[in-house]
Structure 1
Amino acid sequence: MRTDATEVLESAIPILAKDRAASMQSIATRSGISRATLVRLFPTRQHLVQAMAQKILDDCDRILTRAEADTAAMEHVLTALVADYPPFAQLWNLVYVEPDVLGIPEASARAETIFTRTVELIQRGQDAGLLRKDMPATWLASTFCGLAETAWELTLEGHMGQRQAPDFIATILLRGAAA
């Protein structure tokens, strides 16, 4: 039985993403834990949702920090970023839309900073000649996040394999949808 807060959050994030109205009982049951355990870790649904947002923001921050420090060729940096796409999908899927998070200025500010850092990383990809320069970096960063969200949702629904998703994201991001 899962009793570690991080494990519970990892299992609860996709549940809430698929069912915004999920109750604490439903989240507990679908996470494979008792409601008592969930409430011990997160006393209210608001605490749970805010902890989810914190985890997602921390994960995005960790991935971006690693990418920003990477001195490898930019192609490798972008490949690593795309391989770690789920937190960026979750950022768009939960952090930007969940009312219990939107009202927290610190979370909104962190999300905006993460997006700005993503734009800067995309600009590095443009400067390295890997990404189109005829489109704004903001558009391409938004495209990456949108592709990440789509891939994550399709993976959760069983329409795409977890190992397929990064390849699909990279293909569209680096080559577009042209035949």
Structure 2
Amino acid sequence: MRTVAAQVLDSAIPVLAKDRGASMQVIATRAGISRATLTRMFPTRQLLVQAMAEKILDDCDRALTRAEAHTGFTDQVLAGLVGEYRPFAQLWNLVYVEPDVLGAPAATERAEGIFARTIALLAVGQDAGVLRTDMPATWLASTFCGLAETAWELTLEGHMGTRQAPDFITTVLLHGLSTATTTASRMR
């Protein structure tokens, strides 16, 4: 069962993603609680932002742990990882850019570790023949996180349904933007 604090964080993360300068009052209102309740849970905006970062990092960690638990990398492993795209979107959208998080060495170290694990997991996917090998795993991991961020933003803005997002991410990851496989050679 999720705690009230976890529910508040889930509500606050999209608010801050869309409005970096959102006040505690704005965040509380959009989370459906009073400012007093919010400040009882998180006495300062900095503590709220740091709690959001911890939640995002924990969610990424859990998603990677589930994907890493499989023996081998299959289409199902990729689907599971992509199905949990939101924390990876939030990692790029908030953890890497929010000033209250940027200066926190522990959060930065955890974020770097999560990205390194994402690279390693996608390299296993390359070795298994599921993912393309003509690009570095770092590129694939960055592409995954970038697509996750784009999909999350589009769902927040109502341009995409939440159930569509994983399919769109997977399609672009596996097939790029073109319907032809020789797009790169045509562009030269």
Q: Which bin holds the TM-score, normalised by the shorter protein?
A: over 0.9
Superposed CA RMSD? 1.2
Q: Percent identity?
A: 75
Q: Which residues of 2 match residues 33-112 of structure 1 at below 5 A? A: 33-71=33-71, 74-112=74-112
Which deviates more from structure 2 when the two are superposed, residues 122-131 or residues 33-42?
122-131
Matched residue pairs, number? 178
The equivalent residue for 1:147 is 147
The equivalent residue for 1:177 is 177
CA distance in 2, matches of 1:134, 1:97: 30
Q: Is the 1:46–1:100 contact (alpha carbons within 8 Å) kept by the matching residues of 2?
A: yes
1:165 alignment partner AA: A
Summarize the Cα distance change of 1:17–1:86 in structure 2 as closer, same or farther, 3 Å threshold.
same
1:54 alignment partner AA: E
CA distance in 1, matches of 2:72, 2:39: 44
TM-score relative to the length of structure 1: 0.97
Say whether 1:156 aligns with 2:174.
Answer: no
CA distance in 2, matches of 1:57, 1:45: 18
TM-score relative to the length of structure 2: 0.92
Q: Is the 1:74–1:124 contact (alpha carbons within 8 Å) kept by the matching residues of 2?
A: no
CA distance in 2, matches of 1:114, 1:25: 32
User: Secondary structure, in 3 states, of the residue corresponding to 1:162?
Assistant: coil
The equivalent residue for 2:184 is none
Superposed displacement of residue 71, structure 1: 2.7
Superposed displacement of residue 111, structure 1: 0.1
Structure 1 stretches of at least 4 aligned residues deviating more than 3 Å after TM superposition: none
Q: Is the 2:88–2:149 contact (alpha carbons within 8 Å) kept by the matching residues of 1?
A: yes
Q: Structure 2: which 5+ runs fail to align?
A: 180-188
Summarize the Cα distance change of 1:73–1:142 in structure 2 as closer, same or farther, 3 Å threshold.
closer
Deviations 1:125-144 (A, max 9, x none): 11111111110000010000
